[in-house]
Amino acid sequence: MHATNSALAVSPNLGSAPRVFDLAVTPLRELNQALHSNRQGSNETQWEVLNPKGGHAISAGVDTPISVDIRGSVGYYCAGMNQEATITVHGSAGPGVAENMMSGEVIIKGNASQYAGATGRGGLLVIEGDASSRCGISMKGIDIVVRGNVGHMSAFMAQSGHLVVLGDAGDALGDSIYEAKLFVRGSVKSLGADCIAKEMRPEHIAKLQELLDRAGITDAKPEEFTRYGSARSLYNFNIDNAAAY
């Protein structure tokens, strides 16, 4: 019975039609196994996931240039470790979406919970709603664009990459930041240790415009943002800064 239900719940990829998995009747393990078995050059480039129902680690570890549309909200670690794929969540995402992402694109049509894009090394994460606390924590090259607001401790220990926030930022933005660049259009409740406002030079305007274009955002201009980054006062121990360590 299980095999029959599973077969009925998965449609093969025929031409340009997507391969469809319905998680209401197909185990999540079968979806992820199929995604991991997909090889470069396969004609199965379009995938669709129905009834995710907040499942965890959906489409995690995908490493081929395919497109995955998830029709609903997801739980923990969706699209974690993504490489090359374009994964779109037509809903909201739980903690750790696109965690340790390497390349490709992840688009969240709703809101994202805490530590979205954590430790991400590359690629683009777009959150069309709000992101919770610690968005971009320890980011290492990922680009993150949030149309709404971000919560406290976002970009904590962010090493490289870009965080773009069209709304407001919570407490301790960029705490202990290294060389990541932060752009916020709205207000910032407070800045974390060693994070300061910085001049927007022409190269920053150009980069921010590129990121907005990639995220499909046409109703914001780079000149409306403030850039934040490291004051570099924590790079070496200084007794005058002891309270900040």
Q: Which residue ranges form the domains of the chain, and what is each CATH number?
A: 2-234 (2.160.20.60)
Among the ranges given (15-19, 59-63, 68-72, 132-136), the one the predictor scored with the smallest mean pLDDT: 15-19
Q: What is the mean pLDDT of residues 50-77?
A: 96
Name the phi and psi angles at 5, rounded to 5: -60, -45
- Identify the pLDDT of residue 39: 74
**How many residues does this entry show for the chain?**
245
Average pLDDT, the chain: 91
- The answer to whether residue 4 scores a pLDDT higher than 60 is no
Is the confidence at residue 215, as pLDDT, over 70? yes
pLDDT average, residue stretch 43-64 = 94
Mean pLDDT, residues 208-237: 92
C-alpha to C-alpha distance for 114 and 106, rounded to whole angstroms: 16
> Token pair of 6, please?
């599973």
Position 100 pLDDT exceeds 90 = yes
pLDDT for position 5: 40
Average pLDDT over residues 170-178: 97
Res 41: pLDDT: 60
| Residue 215 amino acid letter | A
Do residues 152 and 174 lie in contact, with contact meaning Cβ atoms separated by under 8 Å? no
State the pTM of this model. 0.89
Whether pLDDT at 148 is above 90: yes
pLDDT of residue 175 exceeding 50, the answer is yes
Q: Are 190 and 163 in contact (CB under 8 A)?
A: no
Q: How confident is the model at residue 159 (pLDDT cuts 50, 70, 90)?
A: very high
- E strand segments, the chain: 10-11, 19-22, 46-50, 67-71, 86-89, 105-108, 124-127, 140-146, 160-165, 181-184, 195-198, 226-230
Amino acid, single-letter form, for residue 73: S
> 117-133 burial, b for 16+ CB within 10 Å, e for fewer?
bbbbbbbbbbbbbbbbb
Using the predicted structure, report yes or no on whether residue 6 has a pLDDT greater than 70.
no
Kindly tell me if the per-residue pLDDT of 122 is higher than 80: yes
Under the banding of pLDDT at 50, 70 and 90, the label for residue 17 is confident
Give the residue, 16 or 27, on which the prediction is more confident.
Answer: 27
Instruction: Point out the least confidently predicted range of 29-43, 71-85, 190-204.
Output: 29-43
